[in-house]
Every structure is written in C-alpha cells, then in structure tokens.
Amino acid sequence: MSDTASNRPELPSEIARRRTFAIISHPDAGKTTLTEKFLLYGGAIQMAGQVRAKGEARRTRSDFMQMEKDRGISVSASAMSFDYGTFRFNLVDTPGHSDFSEDTYRTLTAVDAAVMVIDGAKGVESQTQKLFEVCRLRDLPILTFCNKMDRESRDIFDIIDEIQENLAIDVTPASWPIGVGRDFVGTYDILRDRLELMDRADRNKVAESIEINGLDDPKLAEHVPAHLLETFLEELEMARELLPALDRQALLDGTMTPIWFGSAINSFGVKELMDGIANFGPEPQIQVAQPRNIAPEEKKVTGFVFKVQANMDPKHRDRVAFVRMASGHFKRGMKLTHVRTKKLMTISNPVLFLASDRELAEEAWAGDIIGIPNHGQLRIGDTLTEGEALRVSGIPSFAPELLQSVRAGDPLKSKHLEKALMQFAEEGAAKVFKPSIGSGFIVGVVGPLQFEVLASRIEIEYGLPVRFEQSQFTSARWVAGDKQALDKFINANSQHIAHDHDGDIVYLTRMKWDIDRVERDYPDLKLTATKEMM
Ligand code: G4P
C-alpha cells in the first residue's frame, strides 16, 4: 500500500488519512461478507464470521435488532471505525432494504464515498440502481466491487456496459478477472501490474501476489493456464482500448468509478479494493452549510447529527445521536453549542464505534463518526459548533408514501404509545402525525416493512403490543404560508389537518386530486413533500 499525495494539501495528516464511506448494494450481493473482510483486514475482528455470528450474549452493532435477526436484513445504520495501514476507515453501514431509503439517504449525507457491491452473476440490480441514484444526488465518489467471481459470472464487458448505461457513469477497470466460474484463477491488478491468485482452499488467506513486468513477462504463463491466458490478454487489450484509464479527479467528481473484481467470501480482491479506497478515495470533504460551508481543516470543531438511534441498549433508555465530525479536532469533555437551541452541551461520554465494541472516544477528527448518548436533545439535522451559528444543510425529511393509523392493544396505554411514537419520529424511523380532530395517531413511512419494524420495536422496547390499521389518508404534505392564509386553510380543512412531531402543520391527503385542489384554491400557501430537518 502506498500513500498517494493528498489532493488537498491543506488538510492536517490526521484528517487526510481518514476515509469515511458506506457500502451500497442489492440484498445478497455480499455486503455483509465484504464488511466482515474489511474488519478482518482492519484488524478489528480476529476471525471472519464474527459480524454475522448471532451470539447470545454479545450482539454486534449491525445486528442488534430482533427484526434483523429474524429476517436477515440490516435495518439500522451503524458506524464502524478501524485502521488500515496508515489510514483510518470509518465505515457507515446503510440499511439494504428498499423500505429504508430515507434512512439510507441521510446516512449517505455523512460519508464522502460509497462502495457499490454488485453480484457478478446479476449485474446492476434494482436496489443498486436506487441507491446509486441517491449517491448521484450528492455526486458521491463511487468505487465498485464486482463480487462472487468464484462462481459463474456474466460477461465482464456486459457488466461494465450495464453500469455505464444504467448508471450513466464511466467505468475504469482497476483489475481484470482471469477465467470465469470454476476456471477463475484470480485477477490482474491493472493499477499496479500484479497478478493476484485466489486460493480456493483457504478462504481467509490473502491472495498470492506476483509482480509482473509487462504482459509478455514469462511469470504470467507460469501461473496462468495457456487457454485462460490467451483470452485474458485479448480481453485486457480490448479493455484498454475501449475503457478509460483511472482519473482520480473524475472519481472524486463522481463521474467515473473504478471496478475491482473479486470474491468476498474467499477474501479475494478485498485488499486491493481497500487499497483503492485508501489511495484514490476522497479525504473528508467540505460540508455544505448555512450561512457558509465548513472545511474539514478549520481549527474549530463542528459536527452534525445524521442519525438518532434509540434504545441501543435495552437496559438503558438512552439514545445515541450519530454525529459526523465536519471540522476540527474534537476532544472528550469539550463544550459545544447546540445551534438549534443555542445551549452549550458538554460532550463528556462520546462513543467511537470501533468495530469490536463501543468505546469512549477521547478524540475525533473531521471525517470521524462519534455517538453522543443523550436524552432526546439531539435530533437529526442538528449542528454542533464551538459557538458559530452554522447549520449543516441538505438532510431532508421526505413525505411518507404510506400512512396507517396506530392503536395500542390496551387503550389505557395510549400515553405510552404516544411517547414511543414521538421517540421513533425523532429518531427519523417514521413520521408521526396527530390529527387535529379525533384521537389516535397516523404513522407515515416510505415502505411497508417499516410498519412491521415499528410494531416489533414498540413491543420489544416498550412492552406495548400495537395494531396498525388502514387509514383513509394516502399521503401528507407540509404546509407553509402567512398566518392569515394558514388559519383560513386550517379552518376550512380541519378533517385533513394534523401536526407532526415538531408541531409543524401537515395536510393529510386522500388522493392526488386533494393536493391539486389546495394548490388551486390557496395560491398563497406552499405544500411541500420534503422538509429540511433542523
Ligand atoms: P448481503 O449482506 O449483501 O445481503 O450479502 P451477504 O454478505 O450476506 O452474502 C449473501 C450470500 O452470498 C451469502 O450466502 C454469502 O455467503 C454469499 N457470498 C458472499 N460473497 C460471496 C462470494 O464471493 N462468492 C460466493 N460464491 N458467495 C458469496 P448465503 O448462502 O445466503 O449465506 P451463508 O449461509 O453463506 O451465510
């Protein structure tokens, strides 16, 4: 592994060595396996299998919820930090299921790059496409890992074409596979001119790596069977003719993705990918904020909350706010200003999510993710600074696409239910609306599985069985306007009016036509499908 010179020489080395990224993929492509191997090479776990091992006593962070265990899906985003050579990797886990796109979106505001994992037999799948589009909204740099090359895969040029066509991004091969399926022997590392040979017998063994001096180096023929070598050389020549070479700036701009081929389960190609993240991936980037942007090298500390997780430890009713450090050098015990409330907070017990366990964070640099336990003061979108009134922007809240009413199994427990719902709303797990007429709550989500997750969490975390029921409403819009226009609107439409957990006015709609009608009849009001979290 070699350090390449920083493209932002103004960054202190502690910041420049940080790589904060997420992995995006379609379920089953191999994200968990790849994460596990990252942690293994990062020295964070001793043995592969630990991330997934569902031990009774100790549950790993990406696996602490019952739903995840039962259904094998990753519901909650979590962060893991580990060192790789001279680099510090902060890996932020994204929920893979399409029902959690809002959570995923917010998670992606906290990273500087994404690793896109695709299954070599399947190519770009629906969820890959969706997640990619979310990354595109922020021009996030993407590094691609084409996994499961130990099995029959599709034609490599086809896969690359598909990425270029469907995702509209240039692809540059960082490695090239030799042989397919059972004949797959390894890859040629194009960036470093090395032959990497996979060991099928030992899944945790690092591949044998042989330096190659030009493509007529006899070492190639020594290690690669003649019939595979011929095809490989032809393909490589074609690839070099047809595909662009790696251009780091294009990668950083999000217009080019390097692709590595490998097999996560065989630990193959993973180190090359990690070296790629280290050497070509972005350093902590400038954070868009109001009234000015924040540069990571600024001396003063700033950070913002991109996720709140309640009840991480069932024994304590605490919440952990996940904070992405945007600038400066944070030290434990610092007093930071909570910009929304203008109050000072002493951050005395911040947590660093070292992959093996939660640990007190004595310090953190721009790019790091820390957890701040709190009792509800910290919300998604909040900014912490050393006094300046900065607000990180671009963390949206989306109008839900599915609405249901919710009731406690025991009507006497409705206050409890309200508390639980408010907590989930603040956490960003659902939208909760209190209609201005009648009792009860309407819960809004983006995907149907979220109702099940909520019901399960309310039952497990609050001991409260609940029922979700069909609601007459199908969508919601936030309403803004001057007081007079708003009052008139609210009086005339009280059946449709509710308040969200922040107290903002929401118009609940039965059909698209409702929205058209309001827009026509109340031209002074603004209906919006997103609201910036603040
Ligand atoms: P996900 O988090 O993206 O959903 O994928 P995960 O890592 O759980 O992998 C999905 C399946 O693909 C797993 O098999 C895993 O073992 C397998 N897999 C991952 N990487 C490779 C690879 O490089 N080659 C091959 N052939 N398979 C791979 P499973 O049968 O669902 O689970 P398990 O019984 O192996 O745990």
- CA 184 – CA 178 distance, rounded (Å): 6
Mutate-to-test residue for ligand 1 from 265, 268, 272, highest number of ligand atoms within 8 A of CB: 265
Angle 114-119-121 from CA coordinates, rounded to 5°:
155
Residues 6+ apart with CB under 8 A from 126: 26, 98
With beta carbons less than 8 A apart as the criterion, state whether 178 and 156 touch: no
Query: Measured between alpha carbons, how far is 467 from 404 in angstroms, rounded to an integer?
Result: 10
Query: What are 2's two structure tokens?
Result: 């070699």
* Number of residues assigned to the chain: 534
DSSP for 472-489, written as a single string: S--EEEEEE--HHHHHHH
pLDDT at residue 218, rounded to an integer: 95
Which ligand 1 atom sits nearest the alpha carbon of residue 151?
Answer: 26
Buried b (16+ CB within 10 A) or exposed e, 250-260: bbbebebbbbb
**CA–CA distance, 198 with 206 (Å, rounded to integer):** 8
C-alpha of residue 24 to centroid of ligand 1, in Å: 15
Q: 305 by DSSP, 3-state: which?
A: strand
pLDDT averaged per 10 residues in sequence order, the chain, 534 residues: 57 95 92 88 58 38 42 50 92 68 81 97 91 87 98 96 96 97 95 92 79 92 94 96 96 97 95 96 95 96 90 64 95 96 94 66 92 87 96 80 88 87 84 89 85 87 90 91 93 94 91 88 89 63
ipTM field? 0.98
Q: Choose one of 28, 38, 62, 78 to mutate for the ligand 1 pocket test, by most ligand atoms within 8 angstroms of C-beta.
A: 28
Q: Which residues does a 6 A CB cutoff place in the pocket of ligand 1?
A: 25, 27-33, 147-148, 150-151, 263-266
3-state SS, residue 440: coil
- The angle, 0 to 180 degrees and rounded to 10, between the axes of the packed helices 126-137 and 156-167 is 50
Q: Strands (DSSP E) along 190-249, which ranges?
A: 194-197, 208-211
Looking at the CA of residue 35, tell me the nearest atom of ligand 1.
Answer: 7
Q: Match 């695709």 to its residue by tokens.
A: 118
Provide the pLDDT for residue 460: 86
What's the gap in Å between 475 CA and the centre of ligand 1?
A: 37
What dihedral angle (degrees, nearest 10) is formed by the CA atoms of 253, 255, 260, 265?
80
Q: What is the pTM of this model?
A: 0.81
Per the structure block, which two tokens stand in for 454? Answer: 């909520």
Query: What residue owns the CA closest to ligand 1's atom 26?
Result: 148
User: Which pLDDT does position 9 carry in this prediction?
Assistant: 74
Of all atoms in ligand 1, which is nearest to the CA of residue 264? 23
CA of 122 to the centre of ligand 1 (A): 13
Kindly report the protein residue whose alpha carbon is nearest to atom 25 of ligand 1: 148
**Closest among 120, 115, 149 to 263, alpha carbons compared:** 149
Find all residues with CB under 8 Å of 155, minimum gap 6, and list them. Answer: none
CA 69-70-74 angle, to 5 degrees, is: 50
Nearest CA to ligand 1 atom 36: 52
C-alpha of 281 from chain center: 16
- From atom 32 of ligand 1, which residue's Cα is the shortest distance away? 28
Cβ neighbours around 171 below 10 Å, total: 20
Put the strands of the sheet holding 441-445 in their side by side order: 466-470, 402-408, 441-445, 431-435, 497-499, 505-509, 475-480, 526-528
Q: Is 523 left (phi over 0), alpha (psi -120 to 50) or beta?
A: alpha
Pocket mutation for ligand 1, best pick of 26, 31, 33, 37 (most atoms within 8 Å of C-beta): 33
The first and second tokens of residue 147, run together, are 């996994």
119 Cα–ligand 1 center, Å: 10
Binding residues, as ranges, are: 25-32, 93-97, 147-150
- What separation in Å is there between the alpha carbon of 74 and the centre of ligand 1? 14
